Structure 1
Amino acid sequence: MRFVSILMPSKSNMDVMSECAKTLEKFGVKHEVLITSAHRSLERTQAYVKEAESRGAQLFIVGAGMAAHLAGVVAALTTRPVIGVPLNTSPLHGVDALLSTVQMPSGIPVGVMAIGSAGATNSAFLAMQILALEDAELDAKLKEDRILKAKKVEVDSEDIEVRLL
């Protein structure tokens, strides 16, 4: 079974990372969610990544808080794509997580999204675009979603008068 694995370091991150899960659900993409930590539960993280790979995890979406080590540790444990979502969990409002995630050493990449909910949603879309390379049905759903978004812009602008100033 192919699926996307969503990891986060704390239950308090669920409000942001649930946006990722909701987006995957909307498109019928199988996924699972796990709370695990690079620091507080390293052995659990290591065991899960290997086990998830063996069950068909195609890629990992990882909430990255503060020093963002969870995304880096997951990337070190797998050759599957890892997408990091910087979380706004520090006095630096997620900038520390963003910079830590971007600064992975050469050869151990983590794709990095925007900080917070927009990044969580976009991580799901990027994951689906990767999966759609070998899934024509998912590719069609993503294309239809783009068409619907374009139509919404047109509908939303119908009542707006356009004029040069």
Structure 2
Amino acid sequence: MRVIVIIGSISDKIIMKSAVDMLKIFQINYKCYVISAHRLPNTLSKILKKLEDENTDLIIAGAGLSAHLPGIISSKTIIPVIGVPIYNSKNSLLGGIDALSSITQMPKGVPIASVGINNSYNAALLAVHILSMKYIFLKKSLIKFRKNIQKKLENEIEQHL
């Protein structure tokens, strides 16, 4: 079981850290790459071919601005892709809506799952949900994780009553 995290630029690394942290919680093997879909298209293609040969289960791709990275990845592989639209106040004037639209408005035949703007935590958690259908030990861990969250929330509610 392996998840690959691909980031469009080094400045997006801090946003994608939550995804890596979540993968660590569930002890999922992962590897991170920083690859610009526009500046290094040949490198991206080579890495995707390698990932297919290595039986990668899933890719989480985070990108800002026009956010073509997840779509380009999806067009070049059958490995499922979860896109994370990234808003970086230094680069975007649209608050991440540009990235969100680029990821969610893909043409037919090039599917991408998407999460909310800057929500790499949910991207990794979605990856865990998907992988739990294939790996029974992960399913058990996910059920326990969800029950712990529920208990924590119930305790918080009781403290405020």
Give TM class, smaller chain. Answer: over 0.9
* Inter-partner Cα distance in structure 2 for 1:149 and 1:37: 36
Deviation string 1:91-144 (CA, Å, 9 cap, x unpaired) is 11110000011110101101110001xx20011111111111111100000000
Letter in 1 for 2:17: S
Match of 2:72 in 1: 73
Alignment: residue pair count: 158
Q: Is the 8 A contact 2:12 2:63 kept in 1?
A: no
Give percent identity, aligned residues only.
34
Query: 1:3 and 1:147 mapped to 2: Cα distance?
Result: 25
Spell out, residue by residue over 1:7-46, the C-alpha distance to the aligned partner (whole angstroms, 9 max, x if none): 0111111111010000000110000000001111111111
Do 1:64 and 1:101's aligned partners in 2 also have CA atoms closer than 8 Å?
no
Contact 1:11 1:35 in 2 (8 A): yes
Shift of 1:64: 2.1
Q: Which residue of 2 aligns with 1:87?
A: 86
* Amino acid of the structure 2 residue aligned with 1:32: K
Q: Secondary structure at the match of 1:63?
A: strand
| Higher gyration radius (CA) | 1
Question: How far off is 1:159 after superposition?
Answer: 2.0
Letter in 1 for 2:99: A
TM-score with structure 1 setting the length: 0.93
Counterpart check, 1:52 vs 2:51: yes
- Where 1:108 maps in the other structure, the secondary structure is coil
| 1:1-165 paired onto structure 2 within 5 Å | 2-89=1-88, 90-116=92-118, 119-161=119-161
Moved more, 52-61 or 138-147: 52-61
SS of the equivalent of 2:158 reads coil
- Structure 1 stretches of at least 4 aligned residues deviating more than 6 Å after TM superposition: none
SS in structure 2 opposite 1:80?
coil
- In structure 2, the residue corresponding to 1:124 is in which secondary structure? helix
